[in-house]
Amino acid sequence: MINVFFIGTGGGAPSVRGLPAYLVRKEGINVLLDCGEGTQITMIRHGINIMSIKVIAITHLHADHVLGLPPLIQTLSMYGRKEKLYILGDVKKLLEESFEDTHFSPTFEINYVNSYQDTSIKITPFPTCHVIKSQGYIIEEKERINVDAERLKKEGITDWKILRSLKEGKEVEYEGKKLIPEDYVIKKKGLKIAYTGDTAICERVISAVSSSDLLLHDSTFTMDINASDYGHSTASDAAEVAINSGVKRLGLIHISGRYKSAEPLLEEAMKKFPKSFVPNDLSYIILH
Ligand SMILES: [Zn+2]
Ligand SMILES: [Zn+2]
Tens of each residue's pLDDT in the chain, 288 residues: 999 999 999 999 999 999 999 999 998 899 999 999 999 999 999 999 999 999 999 999 999 999 999 999 999 999 999 999 999 999 999 999 999 999 999 999 999 999 999 989 999 999 999 999 999 999 999 988 888 888 888 988 888 889 889 988 899 998 888 999 999 989 889 999 999 999 999 999 999 999 999 999 999 999 999 999 999 999 999 999 999 999 999 999 999 999 999 999 999 999 999 999 999 999 999 999
Nearest bound ligand to CA 62?
2
Catalytic residue flag (residue 183): no
Separation CA 263–CA 77 (nearest Å): 41
Question: How far away, in angstroms, is 125 Cα from ligand 2 center?
Answer: 16
Cα 149 to averaged position of ligand 2 atoms, centre (Å): 50
User: Distance, CA 66 to ligand 2 centroid (Å)?
Assistant: 10
- SS3 readout for 178-215: EECHHHHEEEECCCEEEECCCCCCCHHHHHHCCCCCEE
| Cα 199 to ligand 2 centroid, rounded to whole Å | 8
Q: Which residues are annotated as a binding site?
A: 60, 62, 64-65, 130, 198, 254
**What is the H or E stretch that residue 287 is in?**
strand 283-287
- Nearest ligand (C-alpha, residue 20): 1
* Residues measured by CB to lie within 5 Å of ligand 2, the ion: 62, 198
Spacing, Cα 62 to ligand 2 middle (Å): 5
Please tell me the distance from the alpha carbon of residue 179 to that of residue 171, in angstroms, as a whole number: 6
The per-residue pLDDT for 175 is: 87
CA of 279 relative to ligand 1 center, distance in Å: 16
> What's the pLDDT score for residue 73?
98
Which ligand sits nearest to residue 61's alpha carbon?
A: 2
Task: Identify the nearest ligand to the CA of 60 by its number.
Answer: 2
Residues 129 and 199 sit within 8 Å (Cβ to Cβ): yes
Task: Note the helical H segments in the chain.
Answer: 39-45, 63-66, 69-78, 92-101, 149-154, 160-167, 181-184, 203-208, 235-245, 263-272
Decide if 209 contacts 246 (C-beta within 8 A). Answer: no
Catalytic option among 34, 64, 213, 237: 64
Q: Tell me if 55 sits within 8 A of 86, measured CB to CB.
A: yes
Structural domains of the chain, with CATH: 2-143+189-287 (3.60.15.10), 145-187 (no CATH)
- Which residues are annotated as part of the binding site for Zn(2+)? 60, 62, 64-65, 130, 198, 254
User: b/e per residue, 69-104, with b = 16+ CB within 10 A?
Assistant: bbbbbbbbbeeebeeebbbbbbbeebbeebbeeeee
Rg (CA), the chain: 22
